């Protein structure tokens, strides 16, 4: 694979070639390693970038993100799944549906053997709560997720981060074996030990966004010696190079006279001087001459950034993602209305758990989306359906069955199922609002705070804590944004319509309602009570609450999808 890159950064341009083998991008923190890696992998926002990236002398294909592999620095595998299940998930989504299931299983088994994961293949990867595999095995699992499609090019961002020296060495030996089979492996690394450094085939050295060296890794020490820097015996070449960049003379035995007064680390004067020396070196001229022989089509790199193609259909992705997540005026009504208020409020508060649906998996979603695992729509609808059915519908049904008869609501089948459906709709709407607020957030606690503030105002204007008929016009409009208000209104119509309270010693739900006939505010029927509360007792009075909940649900889901669709997926 040959790549020509003209990367515009601080009005500097540089070029290079990445061949089959281990291509390391080395440099201190903030040197631009990850940015360069993201540009090569077509995962960087193209704004402000120009130049050409060629694959085998031709323009990079528009679906390059899908046919190449990219292992990000942080682990993004599902910790609750086993190593094998993670690989099977990747195979099911990234391999075409035309590939037989048996072939997919064989591919998964092959990856497990290649990565040396046979002993832990059926062990859970692990989470902060569930004990799982070791750090090295987890890193190899991340790599295996990208090897399912057998990509010719594999990118890795800091593959040794968080690993001990021995485990890091084992990971690089694994990559070296893969490189010997003809794969082009490009990775960023910060400060490798010598046993890792000697595995590199090509070294790209960056500092302050400038190219200081690009060429064979084994001739890097010879190059630095030629410009006046010689590595001490037994010193690690990678440490030696970083010492030069940082202005540390402890590892330098020979220095050029014109570098004597170089400033220390923190100033990019050294990086600028080293970049100028490299641009006049034979290594740079040889690379440039080789690149000039390639037929360039001179297309802006932004043209091949946005196209993502998929190996499977929308419904296949959808199916798989679902498989793998006013104080009361009349005190005699307090027992019953208070119970209805509790039921609707409980449904709203329980829906707060929905905020974690897209927040905790944000990094996983971004990585899998840009890798071509699935469409945004497939991910969105699968998570919605997987959450609404088990987490919102079933608890609402169980909640209704337990509380309805214990509280002693109207003993009719119609009233029972009406209450159940109402609570389900309230749960759907509240969950949708939580998604609309939380989608795109990075911190769960921030989303949690915003949603709780919204629910507090909604509960105040739900119709129990404040009699809505007594609210001034400057606040009256807030009731139309209250989810529990629509649910509580529908439940009151359902419960009080047809009830008569003026019979002597009438007791409902353990409360003697004959007190109402002795009250100066005589109320004999449920309809009269509803009228005093400003509730319309008609068929439309019931259905308009349902229509409001359904419309709010659709609006909130649309907002959540749009936010997810336009979420910044490239750094």
pTM reported for the whole predicted model: 0.64
Closest C-alpha among 99, 97, 141 to residue 123:
141
Question: pLDDT grade, residue 95 (50/70/90)?
Answer: confident
User: Tell me, what's the pLDDT at 477?
Assistant: 66
**In terms of pLDDT, which residue wins out, 498 or 516?**
498
Range scoring the smallest mean pLDDT among 213-227, 243-257, 282-296, 498-512:
498-512
Q: What is the 3-state secondary structure (H, E, C) of 173-211?
A: HHHHHHHHCCCEEEEEECCCCHHHHCCCCEEEEEECCEE
Q: Residue 520 pLDDT > 70, yes or no?
A: no
Comparison of pLDDT for 293 and 344, the residue scoring more:
344
Question: Is residue 402 very low, low, confident or very high in pLDDT (cuts 50, 70, 90)?
Answer: confident
pLDDT of residue 559: 92
Segment of 5-14, 164-173, 529-538 carrying the highest mean pLDDT:
164-173
pLDDT tens digits, one per residue of 449-486:
888 888 888 888 776 666 666 666 666 667 778 888 88
Which carries the bigger pLDDT value, residue 516 or residue 268? 268
Domains of the chain with bracketed CATH: 1-67+154-257+266-288 (3.40.50.300), 77-151 (no CATH), 334-501+518-566 (no CATH)
Per-residue pLDDT, 569: 62
> Which three-class secondary structure string do you get for 321-343?
HHHCCCCCCCHHHHHHHHHHHHH
Among 57-71, 89-103, 197-211, 329-343, the least confident range: 329-343
CA distance 461 to 435: 22
Q: Residue 134's pLDDT is what?
A: 87
- Look at 186-190, 251-255, 341-345 and tell me which has the smallest mean pLDDT: 251-255
- Higher per-residue pLDDT: 68 or 523: 68
Main-chain dihedrals φ then ψ at residue 77, nearest 5 degrees: -85, 160
pLDDT at 547: 92
pLDDT over 90 (residue 551): yes
Does residue 215 sit in helix, strand or coil? strand
Which pLDDT score, from 0 to 100, does residue 353 have?
Answer: 77
Check residue 6 and give its pLDDT.
37
Residue 268 pLDDT level (bands cut at 50, 70, 90): low
Average confidence score pLDDT of the chain: 77
Residue pair 342/423 in contact (Cβ under 8 Å)? The answer is no
Average pLDDT in the 120-146 region?
Answer: 86
pLDDT over 90 percentage in the chain: 5
Residue 179 has pLDDT above 80, yes or no: yes
Looking at mean pLDDT, say which of 113-117, 250-254, 350-354, 417-421 comes out highest: 417-421
Q: In the prediction, which pLDDT does 514 show?
A: 46
Query: What pLDDT is attached to residue 338?
Result: 76
Nearest to 373 by CA among 305, 303, 308: 308
Give the residue among 68, 86, 69 at the shortest CA–CA distance from 77. Answer: 86
Which percentage of the chain shows pLDDT scores above 70? 79
Per-residue model confidence (pLDDT) at position 554: 93
User: Does the pLDDT value for residue 518 go beyond 70?
Assistant: no
pLDDT at res. 242:
85
pLDDT recorded at residue 74: 79
562 versus 539: the higher-pLDDT residue is 562
Rounded average pLDDT over 249-263? 49
> What is the per-residue pLDDT across 491-501, written as a single tens digit (0 to 9) for each?
888 888 877 76
């Amino acid at each position: 694979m040959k790549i020509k890159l003209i990367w515009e950064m601080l009005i500097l341009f540089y070029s290079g070639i990445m061949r089959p083998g281990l291509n390391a991008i080395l440099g201190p923190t903030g040197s631009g390693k990850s940015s360069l890696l993201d540009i090569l992998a077509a995962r960087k926002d193209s704004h402000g970038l120009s130049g050409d990236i060629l694959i085998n002398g031709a323009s990079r294909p528009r679906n390059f993100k899908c046919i190449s592999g990219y292992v990000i620095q942080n682990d993004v595998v599902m910790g609750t799944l086993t190593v094998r299940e993670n690989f099977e998930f990747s195979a099911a989504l990234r391999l075409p549906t035309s590939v037989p299931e048996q072939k997919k299983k064989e591919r998964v088994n092959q990856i497990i053997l290649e990565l040396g994961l046979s002993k832990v293949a059926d062990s859970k990867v692990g989470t902060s709560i569930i004990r799982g595999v070791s750090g090295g095995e987890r890193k190899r699992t991340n790599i295996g997720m990208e090897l399912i499609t057998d990509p010719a090019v594999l990118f890795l961002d800091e593959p040794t981060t968080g690993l001990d020296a021995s485990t890091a060495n084992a990971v690089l030996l694994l990559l070296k074996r893969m490189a010997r089979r003809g794969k082009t492996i490009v990775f960023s690394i910060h400060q490798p030990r010598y046993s890792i450094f000697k595995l590199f085939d090509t070294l790209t050295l960056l500092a302050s966004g400038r190219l200081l060296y690009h060429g064979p890794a084994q001739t890097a020490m010879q190059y630095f010696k030629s410009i006046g820097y010689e590595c001490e015996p037994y010193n690690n070449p990678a440490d030696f190079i970083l010492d030069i960049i940082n202005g540390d003379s402890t590892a330098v035995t020979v220095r050029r006279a014109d570098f004597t007064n170089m400033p220390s680390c923190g100033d990019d004067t050294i990086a600028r001087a080293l970049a100028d020396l490299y641009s006049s070196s034979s290594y740079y001229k040889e690379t440039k001459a080789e690149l000039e022989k390639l037929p360039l089509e001179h297309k802006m790199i932004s043209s091949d950034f946005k196209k993502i193609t998929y190996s499977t259909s929308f419904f296949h992705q959808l199916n798989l993602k679902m498989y793998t997540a006013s104080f009361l005026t009349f005190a005699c009504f307090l027992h019953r209305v208070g119970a209805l208020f509790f039921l609707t409020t409980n449904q709203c508060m329980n829906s707060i758990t929905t905020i974690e649906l897209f927040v905790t998996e944000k990094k996983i979603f971004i990585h899998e989306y840009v890798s071509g695992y699935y469409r945004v729509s497939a991910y969105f609808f699968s998570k919605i359906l997987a959450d609404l059915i088990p987490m919102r519908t079933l608890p609402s049904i169980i909640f209704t069955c337990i509380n309805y008869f214990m509280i002693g609501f109207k003993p009719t089948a119609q009233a029972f199922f009406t209450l159940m459906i109402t609570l389900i709709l309230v749960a759907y709407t509240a969950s949708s609002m939580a998604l609309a607020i939380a989608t795109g957030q990075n911190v769960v606690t921030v989303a949690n705070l915003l949603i709780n503030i919204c629910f507090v105002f909604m509960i105040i204007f739900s119709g129990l804590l404040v009699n809505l008929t007594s609210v001034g016009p400057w606040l009256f409009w807030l009731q139309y944004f209250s989810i529990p208000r629509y649910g509580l209104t529908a439940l009151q119509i359902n419960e009080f319509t047809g009830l008569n309270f003026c019979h002597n010693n009438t007791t409902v739900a353990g409360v003697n309602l004959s007190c109402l006939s002795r009250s100066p505010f005589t109320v004999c029927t449920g309809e009269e009570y509803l009228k005093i509360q400003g509730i319309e007792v008609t068929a439309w009075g019931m259905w308009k609450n349902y229509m409001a909940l359904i419309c709010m649900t659709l609006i909130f889901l649309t907002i959540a999808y749009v936010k997810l669709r336009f979420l910044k997926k490239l750094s």
